[in-house]
Amino acid sequence: MESVRKANTRLRSYPILLTKCAEQASVYAACVSRDINVQHNICEVEFKQFLNCIRKSAAELKTKL
C-alpha cells in the first residue's frame, strides 16, 4: 500500500503546482478556447511553457508528476 500512499501524496500536490503556474495555464487556456475548431499542436508553444512551469515547480517541491 506504500505505492498508493505515494500516489495520493503526489495528487495532493497538483493544486499547488497549478497555482504556481496560473499565468501559463491561463495563456494556454486562452489559446485553446480562441477557436472553435481546435487542431492538434495549434497551441504547442503555450502548452510547452505551461508544462515546463509545472515541471520546474514539481522539482522545487521535490515531487514527481
Answer yes or no: pTM beyond 0.75. yes
- Domain regions of the chain by residue span: 2-61
- 19 pLDDT band (50/70/90 cuts)? very high
At residue 46, what are phi and psi to the nearest 5 degrees? -65, -40
pLDDT in tens, 20-50: 999 999 999 999 999 888 888 899 999 999 9
**Radius of gyration from C-alpha coordinates of the chain:** 14
Q: For the chain, how long is the longest CA-to-CA vector?
A: 44
Contact present, 21 and 47 (Cβ < 8 Å): no
Contact present, 46 and 27 (Cβ < 8 Å): yes
- Please determine, for residue 7, whether its predicted confidence score (pLDDT) is greater than 90: no
